[in-house]
Structure 1
Amino acid sequence: MLLELHPQNPHPRNLKTVIECLKDGGIVIYPTDTVYGMGCDIFSGSAVERICRIKGIDPKKAHFSFICYDLSHLTDYTKSVDTPLFRILKKALPGPYTFILPASRQVPKMLKAKRNTVGIRVPDNLVCRTIVKELGNPIMSTSLPIEEYVEEYTDPEIIHQKFGHLVDIVIDAGAGGLTLSTVIDCTGDEPELVREGAGSFEALV
């Protein structure tokens, strides 16, 4: 199903359709402040496994991140954040960054990396943050099952033609981007750039 959600004012009925789908263990393709991503409720193990099958990856080796609504929501899923790190997070979020942080007990085992870490995003995108807020849980965040994002994958209609059969809902909230988020590992003494993307690492450190 291709479902339209206005980027600034998503219709409550359409939003409800997405929430019900996620609660039922469904998979959606949704907008972020970077590229269109694919995800599910982080507490739906069967949906996480289904995404792994779609992407052809082993759930035990997968490095998935997920989307929180805001900074206070993020701190539920990470171990205590010290003041310098909190300043960086506050400066960066909402924004096009993924932060690798020590995972708290609330993070489902399937989504923790071997090092007991988790990647967390708070995108500057009203639609996906509203979905998280209404759902009451974070949603998993992973890229589409493609080698790289090219121009056609900014168009929700083309995304629906190509991947609509693999997922339950493709959300159309206008054109997406082409650049992935910047990934920063904050589990060591100093923040470390893992992947350069849409966000500036230099602006934060």
Structure 2
Amino acid sequence: MARYFDVHPVDPQPRAVAQITAMLREGALIAYPTDSSYALGCRTDYHEGTDRIRAVRRLDDKHHFTLVCADFAQLGQLVRLDNSAFRAIKAATPGPYTFILPATQEVPRRLAHPKKKTVGVRIPDDRVAQAILRELGEPLLSSTLLLPGHEEPLADGWQIKEELDHVLDAVVDGGEVLAQPTTVVDWSEGYPQVVREGAGDPARFA
């Protein structure tokens, strides 16, 4: 059974956040809220985590995982940015965008795209997610909680607990959020290409 945390969406309880991050450090797979939808998350060095996420979402090995960061400094250690990308992405974060960029040596090879050597990164504008990321002190390996056969991601913590109780270690309920995935912008070729329209306004990258 997944442990259930009812966390205040504006002022997350420090004790709950500490318990959540302690579980992550021990190798937990959690569902947690973001500024677009709920997401699945685990530590980047939890090797079974990628397999567990793929199993929940029925993904193949070509899926781009996302490294969810607390701030731009953390993001900048994971991907290579030229000046135009730096300015545009810094202006759009935190926010409901995922950016696909060339990975640095800091990113484990198994987390980067096998052929393109790219990785997705984002900084969510959500207080619960930010509290977890700050307490953890490192990025979360994440994927939108979009289940097979569903057109929209899950957006309600208790529904996630009911549907995925047997495959998750914890559900962090930070209240109802948008039922939209992020807008995905591929910047791996040196210019922005919107490859998925979602919660973030794609016009600024058109």
Q: Tell whether the 8 Å contact from 2:58 to 2:148 is kept in structure 1 after alignment.
A: no
Aligned to 1:78: 79
What is the 5 A alignment of 1:83-98? 83-98=83-98
Q: Evaluate the alpha carbon distance shift between residue 188 and residue 107 of structure 1 in structure 2; reply closer, same or farther with a 3 A threshold.
A: same
Aligned to 2:24: 22
What is the 5 A alignment of 1:135-154? 135-144=136-145, 145-150=147-152, 153-154=154-155
Alignment size in residue pairs = 202
Q: Secondary structure at the match of 1:26?
A: coil
Identity over aligned pairs, percent: 36
Q: What per-residue deviation string (whole Å, max 9, x for no partner) do you get for residues 146-193 of structure 1?
A: 333559x32211111011221011011100211110000011132111
User: Which segments of structure 1 move beyond 3 Å, counting only runs of 4 or more?
Assistant: none
Which sections of structure 1, spanning at least 5 residues, go unmatched? none
Q: What per-residue deviation string (whole Å, max 9, x for no partner) do you get for residues 30-55 of structure 1?
A: 00000111111112112222222222
TM-score by length of 1: 0.92
Aligned to 1:99: 99
Q: Tell whether the 8 Å contact from 1:92 to 1:204 is kept in structure 2 after alignment.
A: no
**Mapped pair 1:42 → 2:44:** yes
Root-mean-square deviation over aligned CA pairs:
1.6
Q: Evaluate the alpha carbon distance shift between residue 73 and residue 25 of structure 1 in structure 2; reply closer, same or farther with a 3 A threshold.
A: same
Aligned to 1:172: 173
TM-score by length of 2: 0.92
Q: Secondary structure at the match of 1:203?
A: helix
Aligned to 1:162: 163
Q: What code does the residue aligned with 2:101 have?
A: L
**Mapped pair 1:108 → 2:78:** no
Q: Tell whether the 8 Å contact from 1:149 to 1:179 is kept in structure 2 after alignment.
A: no
Deviation at 1:87, TM superposition (A): 1.1
Q: What code does the residue aligned with 1:49 have?
A: D
Q: What per-residue deviation string (whole Å, max 9, x for no partner) do you get for residues 119-157 of structure 1?
A: 001011111122112111111121223333559x32211
Q: Tell whether the 8 Å contact from 2:157 to 2:171 is kept in structure 1 after alignment.
A: yes
CA distance in 2, matches of 1:37, 1:71: 20
Q: Tell whether the 8 Å contact from 2:77 to 2:104 is kept in structure 1 after alignment.
A: yes
Q: Tell whether the 8 Å contact from 2:94 to 2:125 is kept in structure 1 after alignment.
A: yes
